[in-house]
Amino acid sequence: MRSTLLVDIGLLATQDAELGEIRDAAIVVEGESIAWVGPASSAPAADESVGLGGKAVIPGFVDSHAHLVFRGDRAEEFEARMRGMPYGAGGIRLTVANTRAATDIMLRWNVDRLAGELLRAGVTTFECKSGYGLDVETEERSVRIAREFTPEVTFLGAHVVPPDTDRDEYLRLVTGPMLDACAPYSRWVDAFCEQGAFDGDETRSVLEAGLARGLGARVHANQLTEGPGVQIAVELGAASADHCTHLSDKDVDALAASDTVATLLPLAEFSTRAAYPDARRLLDAGATVALATDCNPGSAYSTSMPLAIALAVREMRMTPAEAVRAATLGGARALRRSDVGLIAPGRRADLVALDALSYIHLAYRPGVPLIAQVWRSGVPVLSVR
């Protein structure tokens, strides 16, 4: 197998507990994987050598929460919000109408376009939810198309109850025929536990049905109000409780004592002009924190993991090191993946070189395109001049 030595890395933030941060570092990539990591002075020989000109290197970002299968946008809703309208779960229904009317080609094009944006933002692994179909046919199309782009597909039939539909009937559909149609393409089941979406009992029944079909659970929890979502996520052993904007002390303790990751989505607070979650409180309690984009046409139409990091540092009391960790290793934990999110021998060679001497610049230089080079599974997939 051909090996490549990446040298002249000014600062390497591996996210590996033992390797830590290495100055003047080198990495040997062999095929799809990382073969060696350490100081350039002790690097082994390789078939070829590539100099990175002193750039900082981090693992590719792992975006563990994104809604990419939809048609149309909601720019007017955003504009109205910026004039003072509150955000609510109801706006989802407009995207549902557009998504149902879209062809497979249109939906595929939308995922492809946003996957391209994610790559240019340094994301090398992403999760993708359904949830804008809300009928058996369109939910099945959504997960099937998502599966063409990522193995991390989430069935979110329980996003809201669609218009003109009886609640109980819809829950029977989501936990029955819709789940049957979507499970073959999905790894995860999710539910939006919120006022205006699904209550605690409904959320539990959807997640339990998914778990019984062999899917893993993740939950939209405590986004707009302090509901039961986090407690249900922890009780059911969900991989992640997402949003976590409104948490009681009991919620924080439950997350800290569990292996359910608290996934924070600051681009949603940014775009809904809401108060940010307090990441410090979760970190100090010992919870594992992930940062993700939540990219969707309603509450957070952004693929910018660097902006999520900048917001986490500026608004949520995370250090730059903690924010980068949450966007890499944290995301990997939220997807229960051990092959990505860190730079260490044997892991997938997913790497990002920054146009900066340190990853601190991701927060220090907000809005500046710092993603210079990206490798996915050892293949150079992006190089910005």
Please report, as ranges, the residues that interact with ligand NIG according to CB under 6 A: 67, 91-92, 95, 192, 220, 223, 268, 294, 296-300
Q: Residue 192 binds which entry of ligand NIG, Fe ion, none, with Cβ cut-offs from 5 to 8 Å by kind? A: ligand NIG
Sign of CA dihedral 17, 21, 63, 224: positive
Task: Give me the least distance between CB of 125 and ligand NIG, in Å please.
Answer: 19
Residue closer to ligand NIG by CB (options 130, 299) is: 299
Tokens 């990505």 belong to residue: 340
Residue closer to ligand NIG by CB (options 251, 294) is: 294
Closest-by-Cβ residue to Fe ion is: 294
Residue closer to Fe ion by CB (options 294, 322) is: 294
Tokens linked to 166: 């009886």
Residue closer to Fe ion by CB (options 301, 359) is: 301
Task: Give me the least distance between CB of 14 and ligand NIG, in Å please.
Answer: 30
Residue closer to Fe ion by CB (options 14, 296) is: 296
Kindly give the pairing relationship between strand 21-30 and strand 3-13.
Answer: antiparallel
Task: Give me the least distance between CB of 147 and Fe ion, in Å please.
Answer: 19
Strands (E) in the chain, as ranges, are: 3-13, 21-30, 33-39, 48-51, 56-59, 61-63, 123-126, 128-129, 153-158, 188-193, 216-221, 240-243, 261-264, 289-291, 351-354, 371-376, 379-383
Q: Residue 298 binds which entry of Fe ion, ligand NIG, none, with Cβ cut-offs from 5 to 8 Å by kind? A: ligand NIG
Task: Give me the least distance between CB of 22 and Fe ion, in Å please.
Answer: 35
Binding site residues, Fe ion, CB under 5 A = 294
Residue closer to ligand NIG by CB (options 197, 370) is: 197
Task: Give me the least distance between CB of 246 and ligand NIG, in Å please.
Answer: 13
Residue closer to Fe ion by CB (options 278, 294) is: 294
Task: Give me the least distance between CB of 92 and ligand NIG, in Å please.
Answer: 4
Three-state DSSP class for residue 165: coil
User: What separation in angstroms does the CA of 208 have from each of 170, 213, 223, 254, 261?
Assistant: 16, 9, 21, 19, 19
Kindly give the pairing relationship between strand 33-39 and strand 61-63.
Answer: unpaired
Task: Give me the least distance between CB of 67 and Fe ion, in Å please.
Answer: 6
Task: Give me the least distance between CB of 74 and ligand NIG, in Å please.
Answer: 7
Tokens 């193995």 belong to residue: 151
Sign of CA dihedral 306, 271, 277, 215: negative
Q: Residue 203 binds which entry of ligand NIG, Fe ion, none, with Cβ cut-offs from 5 to 8 Å by kind? A: none
Query: CA 11 to CA 24: how far, in whole Å?
Result: 6
Closest-by-Cβ residue to ligand NIG is: 298
Residue closer to ligand NIG by CB (options 37, 224) is: 224
| Closest-CA residue to 376 (of 31, 16, 113) | 31
Query: CA 287 to CA 246: how far, in whole Å?
Result: 15
Residue 184 main-chain phi, psi, to 5 deg = -60, -25
Three-state DSSP class for residue 224: coil
